[in-house]
Amino acid sequence: MLRVHNLSVQFALPHKTVYAVNGIDLAVPEGKVTALIGESGCGKSVSALAAMGLLDGEESRVSWDRIVFDGKDVDDTHRPAYGKDISLIYQDPYSALNPRLKCGYQVMEPLLIHGICDRRAARKRALEVLGDVGFSDPGRVYNMYPSELSGGMKQRVLIASAIITRPKLLIADEPTTALDVTIQAQILDLIKRLQREHRLSMLLITHDMGIVADIADEIVIMYLGRVLERGAKESIYRNPGHPYTRGLLRCIPRKQNKDRALFTIKGHVEQLMSAPAGCVFAPRCELCRESCRQTHPALVSINEHHGVYCPLTEGGPHG
Amino acid sequence: MKTSLRIIGKAAFFAALLIGIIILANYPLLILEPFGFHLQDVSLEQVVTTVTSYIGNLLHGSLGTYKRRLDVWVLIETYTGSTLVMLSLSLLIAILFGGAFGYFLSKKQKPRTSTLKLMLAITLMSVPTLIVIVGVQQFFLMLKHAGLSHLPVAGFTTWRHRILPIFCAALLPGVYLARLFANASDRVYQTEYIRAAVSKGAGRARVFFVHVLKNVFAQVCESIQSILPLLMVNMLIAEYLFYCPGLLLVMVNNYGNPDVVVGVSIVIALIYTAYSLIFNWIGRRLNHHMGIQRKGLA
């Protein structure tokens, strides 16, 4: 559904230009869920917004070799209709809904924007979708303002607004991060159900490996604006190639390790301004060699659907 | 209980204000007493008698007299209509001009501000109304001599006489509102729900009219009352220079007559309160369902 080749995003700071995203490739197969994983500030959301063309500020410069959406090249003459072909679920439902517009209007707005139907039909469809996302009384929610809803309800409204046009691609930017734990599970179940029912292609941005295990088909691991590992979920969970991925997987709390201290990856994420020249994970990597500090490693294939940007991976040149 | 106390507090405040106006209108030099200047020889009994007599008259519906024993009500009835029309139209023009100019001044979705726009706003805000009016009068006189305009630059007999005073009185408050509008607009454009609207496919016009304008107006609305005093002062200058009298000019021209000053002050205070309440109410209505803290900008 979506293929992005060599996407870069630069931010011009007063004395320096930094790469928030540095030459990443992304792919979201049709009807599948690709999870973009990484720590806060590693460029996950920026990548998604840039690929959608929503990062057109004066201080950012977005470049790519090729973006293919739904089999067609994306360029200035052909762009997917945002809100119709591609929809986005925002991280924070508390700020992503306009406080002065009724929820119903915000749900049906994409239909009105893209002229898909008239206001009456849009209202009917909005009520259907509000029912779809789990509201027992859609008519009431339709006439409510965001401040009258809880965080979980707001996120349901945002999801309803995102799926009302039956988009070809849904980008979910950490859809459960701002919610409390009990609501997170409900929203995740809802997203999973809707993805299966509508066979949605989805790019899920998250830092939670637990969520990924539950919902994703493909995984892309990002760190400091670079992709470190990509592949099918099963292959990555079974045979993680990059030291960072192995560290992330060891960070997941497990029942059998309940008496042990939780594993943490040593060190801290470097600032984008002082990102290393070679492998971006090198300063924290216990296996790092001198060559890792010199140049960004090339892609090493573990199998047909699994690649790692690390020369120390088994099967790689130094492995 | 709390509401009753609040009402009693407000009533006491207005009563104190009224007494203050009565004392100042009758014994203006008393204001200097606390600073050690004893310029008016008045006893406390005299002041109390004057105040009680005024309040007694007020309760009987009388505002006193002016010149040849004419009732102050006659003055008020004559000029209140034109003052209300001028104030309402000036306010409307200030809001419309402020909105349009504020949109021009705002950064919209661009992160950098334009120094030129900021300088333009500050320059316009610093030009005294007196100079603006004189400049406008000269300009329209020039146009009149050239046969390009027949707009009168002084007088009060027709509605056309009011056009220039209204525009001149509205200019400075309009620029002030434009700054408020631009600041509020910049804040709204930075919110996540604007980015969400863009990601739905909303164009610039839709983002502005559906998502930005209502939020900006709700923020600016309650601040509009803060420009009312400025608007009134500008109206006074405009009334004077365009010779287009209203209540404000009447009050200044009769400052030696305490009855007129007190009567007109009360009416002007009532007009001011009414406008403030209207914008306060609109602001509250706009923020009613939002559960968000209202943020007055002034």
Q: What is the pLDDT of residues A27-43, one digit of tens each?
A: 888 888 999 988 888 88
CB A262 within 8 A of CB A318: no
How would residue B217 be classed by pLDDT, with cut points 50, 70 and 90?
A: confident
For residue B242, the tally of other CB atoms under 10 A from its CB is 25
Q: Please indicate whether, in this complex, the C-beta atoms of A54 and B202 are within 8 angstroms of each other.
A: no
Using CA atoms, how far residue B25 sits from B77, B202, B266, in Å, is: 21, 58, 12
Tell me what pLDDT residue B265 has. Answer: 87
Complex ipTM tops 0.85: no
Tell me what pLDDT residue B193 has. Answer: 92
> For A111-129, what is the mean pLDDT?
91
Q: Please indicate whether, in this complex, the C-beta atoms of B291 and A148 are within 8 angstroms of each other.
A: yes
CB A170 within 8 A of CB A163: yes
Contacts of B105 (CB under 8 A, 6+ apart): B117, B118, B120, B121, B178, B179, B181, B182
Q: Chain A neighbours among B 97-126 (CB < 8 Å)?
A: 109-112
pLDDT in tens, A270-301: 777 777 788 888 888 888 888 888 888 888 88
> For B116-120, what is the mean pLDDT?
79
How would residue B294 be classed by pLDDT, with cut points 50, 70 and 90?
A: very low
Q: Please indicate whether, in this complex, the C-beta atoms of A100 and B290 are within 8 angstroms of each other.
A: yes
Q: Is the pLDDT of residue B91 over 90?
A: yes
CB B23 within 8 A of CB B29: no
Which residues of chain A does B203 touch, with a Cβ-Cβ cutoff of 8 Å? 113
Which of A23-27, B40-44, B276-280, B281-285 bottoms out in mean pLDDT, i.e. has the lowest? Answer: B40-44
Q: Between B34 and B93, whose confidence is greater? A: B93
B210 secondary structure, DSSP code: I
For residue A191, give the nearest of A203, A182, A208, A181 by alpha carbon. Answer: A203
pLDDT in tens, B60-77: 877 777 776 778 888 888
CB A84 within 8 A of CB A75: no
Q: Is the pLDDT of residue B279 over 50?
A: yes
Q: What is the mean pLDDT of chain B?
A: 83
Tell me what pLDDT residue B88 has. Answer: 92
Closest Cα of chain B to A231: distance in Å?
A: 28
> For B135-152, what is the mean pLDDT?
87
How would residue B295 be classed by pLDDT, with cut points 50, 70 and 90?
A: very low
Q: Please indicate whether, in this complex, the C-beta atoms of B200 and A52 are within 8 angstroms of each other.
A: no
How would residue A317 be classed by pLDDT, with cut points 50, 70 and 90?
A: very low
Burial of A238 (0-12, 13-18, 19+ CB in 10 A): exposed
| Secondary structure element (H or E) that encloses residue B249, with its range | helix B247-253
Q: Out of A52, A97, A113, whose CB is closest to B206?
A: A113
pLDDT in tens, A42-89: 888 888 888 777 776 667 788 888 888 888 887 767 777 777 888 888
CB A276 within 8 A of CB A283: yes
CB A296 within 8 A of CB A290: no
Per-residue DSSP letters for B93-151? Answer: HHHHHHHHHHHHHS-TT-SSPPHHHHHHHHHHHHS-HHHHHHHHHHHHHHHHHTTS---
Tell me what pLDDT residue A209 has. Answer: 81
The pLDDT > 70 percentage for chain B reads 93
Q: Is the pLDDT of residue B298 over 50?
A: no
> For A223-242, what is the mean pLDDT?
88
Q: Which of B200, B208, B215, B221 to mutate to test the interface with A (most CBs of A within 10 A)?
A: B200
B223, amino acid identity: S
The pLDDT > 70 percentage for chain A reads 97
Strands A201-206 and A169-173: parallel
Using CA atoms, how far residue A180 sits from A35, A150, A177, A184, A254, in Å, is: 21, 11, 8, 6, 21
Contacts of B36 (CB under 8 A, 6+ apart): none
Tell me what pLDDT residue B109 has. Answer: 58
CB A177 within 8 A of CB A91: yes
Burial of B16 (0-12, 13-18, 19+ CB in 10 A): exposed
| Secondary structure element (H or E) that encloses residue A5, with its range | strand A2-12
Tell me what pLDDT residue A290 has. Answer: 81
Tell me what pLDDT residue B90 has. Answer: 94
**Largest Cα span, chain B:** 75
A82, β-bridge pairs: A86
Q: Out of A84, A101, A145, whose CB is closest to B201?
A: A84
B207 secondary structure, DSSP code: I
Q: Please indicate whether, in this complex, the C-beta atoms of A87 and B199 are within 8 angstroms of each other.
A: yes
Q: Is the pLDDT of residue A26 over 90?
A: no
Q: Out of B198, B202, B290, whose CB is closest to A99?
A: B290
Tell me what pLDDT residue B296 has. Answer: 38
> For A127-145, what is the mean pLDDT?
90
Tell me what pLDDT residue A123 has. Answer: 93
> For A191-214, what is the mean pLDDT?
85
Q: Is B293 on the interface with A (CB under 8 A)?
A: no
Structure tokens at A77: 């003459």
Which residues of chain A does B109 touch, with a Cβ-Cβ cutoff of 8 Å? 57
Q: Is the pLDDT of residue A318 over 60?
A: no
CB A97 within 8 A of CB B196: yes
Structure tokens at A2: 């979506």
Q: Out of B200, B203, B218, whose CB is closest to A109?
A: B200
Strands A169-173 and A86-89: parallel
Residue of chain A with shortest Cα separation from B217: A100
Q: Is the pLDDT of residue A261 over 70?
A: yes
**Largest Cα span, chain A:** 66
Give the Cα separation of A85 and A83 in Å (integer). Answer: 6
Q: Please indicate whether, in this complex, the C-beta atoms of A58 and B111 are within 8 angstroms of each other.
A: yes
Q: Is the pLDDT of residue A216 over 90?
A: no
Tell me what pLDDT residue B297 has. Answer: 36
